[in-house]
Amino acid sequence: MKKIALMAFLLAATIGLSGCTLGDKISGIFNKNKMVVLEPEAAKTKAQTYINENLLPEGITVAIGEVTEESGLYKLAINFSNGNKVDSYMTKDGKQFFTEGMDMNKAKASADTLPTNEPTMELKTEIITEGTGEATVKSGDSITVDYTGTLEDGTKFDSSVDSGQPFTFTIGEGTVIQGWEQGLIGMKVGEERKLIIPAELGYGAQGQGPSIPPNSNLLFDVKLISIN
C-alpha cells in the first residue's frame, strides 16, 4: 500500500511550541544549544501520561520502567497492563516520541527540517467497535487490517475495503506513516478504530501524489482483522 509508505521514517509526534505534550512542533530539536533537557524522571512521567491519554484504548495502560540513554535520546521501557513490553525513544527535551526499530539518523535529519510556524493538532483515536480476546497490537507485530482513508473534507483517497484487499504490515518497521505506528497500538482483533492524524504524522509538507495535498490532516477508519 504505497499511499501509506513513510515520508520520513518513524518521525515523532509534533505539536505546538507552547504545549507540553509529547508532540510539540519545534525546529532544531537536536541542536543542543537550544534544547531544554528534561531529567529522566520528568521524561518518564511525560511519556507515560501522553501514551495513556492519547494512544491507547480504554482499559489498556502503560507504565514506564527504566529510562536510559541511547543515540542522544532517552530510551524508555514501556510495560503494558496486559504484560506486553516494548522500547520507545524520546528526545531529551520531551518534544518528540519515536517507536522502536527506527533509523535514528534519518529521523534526526527529518526532524531538523520541520517548519515552526504552522498550527497543528494531536493524534486522536476513537474506538468505534470493541475488539475481542486478550492479544493487543504492539511494536513488532505483523497485523492485517481493513481501512478507509479520507481528507478532512470527506474526500476518500484510499480504501482496502473498496479494493477487497486487506493490508498486512509490521508495526515498527517504518512501512506505514507514524500516525498508524502510534494509533494502532493496543488494538484487539475485530476492533474498529477511527484515527485523526495530523499532517506531521502523515505526509507532512510534501503530501502524497495528487490525492493527498501538502499539510493534509488525515482520517482513517481501521479494522483489525488479525495479529499474525
**Helix (H), strand (E) at residue 158:** strand 156-159
> Mind listing the pLDDT tens digit of every residue in the chain (228 residues)?
433 322 222 223 322 222 223 333 222 223 333 456 778 888 888 888 877 777 666 667 778 888 888 777 888 888 877 777 778 888 887 777 766 544 445 444 544 544 444 444 688 999 999 999 999 999 899 999 999 999 999 999 999 999 999 999 999 888 999 999 999 999 999 999 999 999 999 999 999 989 999 999 999 999 999 999
Domain 124-227 class in CATH:
alpha beta
Q: What is the DSSP string of 101-130?
A: S--HHHHHHHHTT--SSS-----EEEEEE-
Residues 6+ away with beta carbon under 8 Å from 79: 62, 63, 64, 65, 85
Cα separations in angstroms, 54 against 46, 48, 77: 12, 10, 18
CA distance 4 to 178: 9
Angstrom distance (rounded) from CA 181 to CA 198 = 13
The answer to whether the beta carbons of residues 173 and 121 sit under 8 Å apart is: no
Q: Which of 190, 99, 178 is nearest to 138 (CA)?
A: 99
Output the pLDDT for position 114.
Answer: 46
146 among known catalytic residues: no
Of 145, 41, 146, 159, the residue nearest 92 (C-alpha): 41
Q: Please tell me whether residue 177 adopts helix, strand or coil conformation.
A: coil
Q: H-type helices in the chain, by residue range?
A: 40-54, 104-111, 160-163, 178-183
- Known catalytic membership, residue 227: no
Selecting among 127, 157, 221, 227, the annotated active-site residue is 157
Domain limits, the chain: 2-111, 124-227
Annotated catalytic residue within 50, 74, 98, 220 = 220
- Give me the pLDDT at residue 174, please: 86
Confirm whether 220 is a catalytic residue.
yes
Residue positions counted in the chain: 228
> Known catalytic residue: 167?
no
**The predicted structure's pLDDT at residue 162:** 96
Amino acid, res. 214: P
User: Among this protein's residues, is 103 annotated catalytic?
Assistant: no
**Alpha-carbon distance 145 to 154, whole Å?**
21
Active site residue 169: no
Query: Which pLDDT does position 223 carry in this prediction?
Result: 98
Beta strand 85-90 with 97-99 is: antiparallel
Q: Which of 147, 185, 197, 212 is catalytic?
A: 147
Q: Which of the following is catalytic: 9, 80, 98, 203?
A: 203
Residue of 93, 141, 146, 158 marked active site: 158
The pLDDT value given to residue 176 = 93
- On the 0-12 / 13-18 / 19+ scale of CB atoms within 10 A, 92 is buried
Strand partners, 126: 194
pTM to 2 decimal places: 0.52
Q: Please check whether residue 59 is in contact with residue 134, taking contact to mean a CB–CB distance below 8 angstroms.
A: no
